Amino acid sequence: MDFINHLTSNNIKPSLQRLRIFEYLYNSAEHPTVDTIYSDLVSAIPTLSKTTVYNTLKLFIDNGITSTLTIEENEVRYDAIMEEHAHFKCDTCGHIYDVEIDISTLKFKKIKSFKVETTNIYLNGKCNKCLTN
Amino acid sequence: MDFINHLTSNNIKPSLQRLRIFEYLYNSAEHPTVDTIYSDLVSAIPTLSKTTVYNTLKLFIDNGITSTLTIEENEVRYDAIMEEHAHFKCDTCGHIYDVEIDISTLKFKKIKSFKVETTNIYLNGKCNKCLTN
DNA sequence: TATAAAATTGTAATGATTACAAATTTAGAA
DNA sequence: TTCTAAATTTGTAATCATTACAATTTTATA
Ligand SMILES: [Mn+2]
Ligand SMILES: [Mn+2]
Ligand SMILES: [Zn+2]
Ligand SMILES: [Zn+2]
């Protein structure tokens, strides 16, 4: 993944902050919150402001290279993987897993006349790690 | 629907406030927010406090007769229909529709070893009303 | 270099939710 | 019925994530 090119080709000027934030988000499997992103990056960018993290994520979202996850109310999480997938949150360890899903298998009744643009699927339960412990 | 019996059989003493809040929620198709619930009921119960609305909804959730909807971040919505169904939010008119869905048709890859306990499905798009206008 | 635009930063404001203690209501014993 | 304790409701203050906004810094370009 060429991050500079990815930002540039999505009309985002690749400043240091934007690059680091996107790299972090893309490489993290954690679907981090703003606080986590800020905490983990502030040592590498000592001048970083939390406002910049908010601003930057909003920019990413507006330009279609990041999406939000509200699997749990009161905590917004961010995801730089834009390919269609669902999310599974383990009630025990709290980890959020990506789940591959074929949305075409979803059979809705009675909404043929609606135009569905996005589909969000959130699962809760116990992951295999927690089940075998 | 016998509301008093519904509350009682779920270990909730049916006070006036609890009854009115549950009735309102059950009869509303709007998936209302705390603010809407409070605003719409305060004329009928002039002493009603917003804290009571929060407390009561938490009680309903803990006792399994209400669930939350976080289809949009920054606004929590409530639903007294506990039968499995998905939600569709129209981007144009903002209305949230119930959508019948057969979750058994969902085909996940690679999570056979996970134990899925709840499934939340949120759709966004345009409803037929807004499409034909 | 000089200037304007863009980006970043820090602080204050907002708004939803929660904490908590006081007031009121309810239920049961005497 | 009257008294007392528990349950419920209420109002206010605290918390915390997010947003607004103005000041500062950086970048681009003439
Ligand atoms: Mn993901
Ligand atoms: Mn519903
Ligand atoms: Zn787990
Ligand atoms: Zn509509």
DSSP state of B104: G
| pLDDT tens for each residue of B52-66 | 999 999 999 999 999
Residue of higher predicted confidence among A72 and A62:
A62
Percent of chain B with pLDDT over 90: 75
Cα separation values, B46 from B22, B40, B42, B59, B117, Å: 17, 11, 5, 21, 40
A84 token code pair? 């269609």
pLDDT in tens, A88-113: 999 999 899 999 888 777 767 667 78
Assigned CATH class of A85-132 = alpha beta
For strand C, which residues in window 55-74 of chain A come within 7 Å by CB?
55-56, 73-74
Q: How many residues does chain B have?
A: 133
Q: Which residues of B touch A72 (CB under 8 A)?
A: 70
CB B22 within 8 A of CB B3: yes
- The H or E element spanning position A96 is strand A96-99
Structure token digits, residue A36? 């986590």
A92 C-alpha to center of ligand 3: Å?
Answer: 5
Is-contact A131 B113, C-beta < 8 A? yes
Identity at B44, one-letter amino acid code: A
pLDDT tens readout for residues A22-56:
999 999 999 999 999 999 999 999 999 999 999 99
* Mean pLDDT of the region B18-38: 97
Q: Is A52's CB less than 7 Å from nucleic acid strand C?
A: yes
Does residue A81 register a pLDDT over 90?
A: yes
What pLDDT is attached to residue B25?
Answer: 98
Instruction: Tell me which protein residue sits closest to nucleotide D17, measuring alpha carbon to C1'.
Output: A74
Candidates B66, B69, B70, partner chain A, best to mutate (most A CBs within 10 A): B70
- Helices and strands, counts by H and E, chain B: 5, 5
| CA pair distance A116, B88, nearest whole angstrom | 8
Contacts for B74-81: CB closer than 8 Å, 24+ residues apart: B75/B33, B76/A73, B76/B33, B76/B34, B77/B31, B77/B32, B77/B33, B78/B25, B78/B31, B78/B32, B78/B33, B78/B34, B78/B37, B79/B25, B79/B31, B80/B22, B80/B25, B80/B26, B81/B26
The per-residue pLDDT for range A30-39, each reduced to its tens digit, is 999 999 999 9
Q: How far apart are CA A128 and CA B22, in angstroms?
A: 37
Give the pLDDT confidence score for residue A110 in this predicted structure.
65
- How far apart, in whole angstroms, are the C-alpha atoms of residue B56 and residue B62? 10
Residue-level length of chain A: 133
Domain B3-79 matching CATH 1.10.10.10: the answer reads yes
Nearest residue to nucleotide C10, by CA–C1' distance, is A49
Cβ-proximal residues to B13 (8 Å cutoff; 6+ apart), any chain: B7
**Nucleotide nearest to A75 in CA–C1' terms:** D17
Mutation target vs A (from B71, B123, B129, B131; most A CBs, 10 A cutoff): B123
Which letter does DSSP use for residue A55 in this model?
H
A7 burial class (0-12, 13-18, 19+ CB within 10 angstroms)? buried
The domain ranges of chain B are: 3-79, 85-132
